[in-house]
Amino acid sequence: MIPAGTAVGRSVVRPDLAAKLSGAAVYGADLPVAGVLHVKLLRSVVAHARIAAVDPAAALEVPGVVAVVTAADLVDLDATWGHYVRDRPIFADGVVRFAGEIVAAVAAETEEAAAAAVTTIEVEYDELPALLDVAAAAAPGAARVHDRAPRPGFACPPGTELGMDNAFYHHGLQHERVAEVDEAGAVVVQHEYIFPAVYQYAMEPHVVVASWEPDGISVHSSCQHPFLVRQELATVFGLPLERVRVRVPFVGGGFGSKSYTKMEPVAVAVARAVGRPVRLVNRVEDAMVTTRRHGMRCRMRTAVRPDGRFVSRQAWIWMDTGAYADNGPTVTMVAGMAAVGPYRWDRVDIDAACVYTHLPPSGSYRGFGAAHLQWVGESQVDEVAALLGIDRLELRLRNLLDRGETLIPGQRPLDADLAGDLREVAKRLDWGGALPAWRGRGISVGVSPAGVSARSAARVELRPDGRVMVLVGSQEIGQGARTVHAQIAAEVLGLGMERVVVLPTDTDHTPYDRSTGASRSTTVAGLAVQRASERLRTALLAAAAEHGGVPVDELTLRDGRISTGKRSWDIAELAAAGPIGADGDASELTGAGPALFWEVCVAGAEVSVDPETGLVEVPRVVTVADVGRAVNPSLVERQDEGCTLQVIGNAFFEEMRFSEDGVLLNDSLLDYRVPTLTDVPAEMICVIVENGDGPGPFGAKGCGEGVFGGLTAALVSAVTDAGVPVRELPMSPDRVWRWIQQTTSDTAPG
């Protein structure tokens, strides 16, 4: 057992480990619910069409079917939702805008009956032209995906401009550090780049159990943002917040796919129609058309002086958000910021556009923005280095911003030693050492805005049985949030970990937390836990002083006992008459712009390329977890390793493929391959950097997403160093082979 008071900084065992390994953990699909009906969904088979008719008659004849629910059953509601843009109907209402849009739901006594009934519903479509290419959709004069002006959702920042065109949201960055920037004599590189749509595979697809009750809505959901889901449901169904209750069981992974609202309005609408609890469980093919990572096209231009000083960067970015906005504007904003890179530029000019298309909606996915753009910007840095004959590491070190410098005017200053992080990577990659043919090394450096919002509160209570209960709304989605929050409370209160329990989220009882995302669970929610624990400690010592008739400054709290001289008593005695609790929040955190801190995206990689097949192998990766203070070092390492494997998939083989009619072709895990153990690099090195410079508890700051930007770029850099230029992901063997043939052809004599 780890001694009390020394929990932080130790790789303690996860409290949820036994339940998950034994199968005792209860997920949404496991919840026992009396009288529950099972829901199956009918989805559109065309990308764009008017719905001429929906005939549910045959479905209603299937034994066990209780109801078929469509938009016609919601005419008394404004049945659209969306936290940023309120543009997504619960059921397609007259028009379908992507293949996979929900047209109807069947509620039945068994899953088998619901599944059978769905296949019998007849829908008549009048097909319309579909916009499937983001550049075509963004072109002037393109037909509009939505013919109504966009309505801001409840979480849309005040003052946000939303336009009528398909490119309905723009994030621009224009600034000059030097007046009248002169590019005369500068080396200029300019290319176009493509990043495909990919799926945020989580082991547990979306699950919602919903009830429509006399006193309001009750939902169990595998969601990352329960308080925002509560607000969305209250808005859509016209109820006050206190009449909507959201509870979160164990969640089998999220990675952004369960951010904000996803399937909850559908489940609630069905429960409302049938008057019984319902369970909606997505299959993988459903989840893949519920949310995905944004596809992207980008044109970038970089100018650098002959002496290696960076002059200017321009980028034009088109993010394919699909038929509905979801979190697209936020992803677009972060992508625009990532395009700049953490460098001193004389001039920056970025235009990032969020664009509607007739493809499934795009949302958050781990490391969004940085994953999209860091590899593009870093590729151009590598290309400039080659043209100038300057070592790639040296060129970066000459131009990197220092701690305290400003990346973008109006934003939080840089709070990390990026040059030091980059040197750590280079050292572990044996930078400068010779490599055989068709092998390459790559490095990359970037940052991403993290934290998003300081709205996080916590309550910590000492119960009569001597245990401490932590109530905090940040979700355990596999990253270890409950473990870290327990460690923080144990450290402050001088307790053994076995006496601290972090409770599941229930919006009726858990203090408000804005969201589980943006790497904020340790930094922001963790700070709230620390502050609540500190106040509880103060309250316990004060109660003990009164109980024992001694001054507070003569008391010590350790190992669950309060002592003075030869006298001591267990803290449980103080709560004999009832729980003693204290509240805390993260309101002290402030930051200019969207960043409460900058997440570091620094990594390196070594690759080998088979010129005969185009297959790329990855013998070594190095990632940097610049976390300020590692509350649990093992969890930090596991976060980086897990993200590394996801990056391997995004970089080398993951890609959602659509037909020319907009239908997803590879909608199963047989056709859409996610990384497996066979794809793990031979050597994964995670460098934990602890400078105590984070705004969170004990100087901590978040991690777990920076690898997506840093390692994606490093892998592209390494493949390019091996002799294969890259301007499109994924770097699949067929593409790499073609690029090798093209490069060989271009350099052949004559």
d(CA 686, CA 636): 9
Q: Count Cβ atoms below 10 Å from residue 76 Cβ, excluding itself.
A: 7
Q: Are 222 and 281 in contact (CB under 8 A)?
A: no
d(CA 60, CA 427): 67
End-to-end Cα spacing for the chain: 73
- Report the DSSP pairing between strands 439-444 and 468-472: unpaired
Q: Are 369 and 450 in contact (CB under 8 A)?
A: no
d(CA 489, CA 697): 10
Residue entry with tokens 């002169």: 182
List alpha helices for 361-411, DSSP H.
370-388, 392-399
Nearest-5° angle of CA 215, CA 42, CA 277? 20
- Please name the amino acid found at residue 240: P
Give phi and psi for 424, each to the nearest 5: -60, -40
d(CA 104, CA 112): 17
Q: Count Cβ atoms below 10 Å from residue 669 Cβ, excluding itself.
A: 13
Would you call 116 helix, strand, or coil by DSSP? helix
DSSP state of 524: I
d(CA 227, CA 247): 10
Residue entry with tokens 């507070």: 552
List alpha helices for 429-567, DSSP H.
481-493, 526-548
Q: Which two tokens stand for residue 344?
A: 């001193």
Q: Give the active site residue among 204, 491, 637, 705.
A: 705
DSSP 15-27: TTHHHHHHT---B
d(CA 620, CA 426): 12
> Which is nearest to 620 in space by CA: 444, 425, 445?
425
Q: Are 105 and 39 in contact (CB under 8 A)?
A: yes
Q: Which segments within 549-705 are labelled E, that is strand?
A: 556-558, 561-564, 567-570, 580-585, 595-600, 603-609, 616-626, 683-689
d(CA 85, CA 261): 12
Q: Count Cβ atoms below 10 Å from residue 276 Cβ, excluding itself.
A: 18
Q: Are 437 and 555 in contact (CB under 8 A)?
A: no
Q: Are 353 and 692 in contact (CB under 8 A)?
A: no
Q: Are 522 and 697 in contact (CB under 8 A)?
A: yes
- Please name the amino acid found at residue 740: I
Would you call 706 helix, strand, or coil by DSSP? helix
534 tagged catalytic: no
> Which is nearest to 446 in space by CA: 184, 655, 704, 711?
711
Beta-bridged to residue 354, according to DSSP, are 169, 319
Alpha carbon 145 to chain centroid distance? 26
Q: Are 525 and 487 in contact (CB under 8 A)?
A: no
Alpha carbon 506 to chain centroid distance? 22
Longest dimension (CA), the chain: 97
Q: Count Cβ atoms below 10 Å from residue 399 Cβ, excluding itself.
A: 17
**Cα–Cα distances in angstroms (integers) from residue 195 to residues 139, 269, 296, 330, 723, in the given order:** 19, 36, 5, 18, 21
Catalytic residue IDs: 705
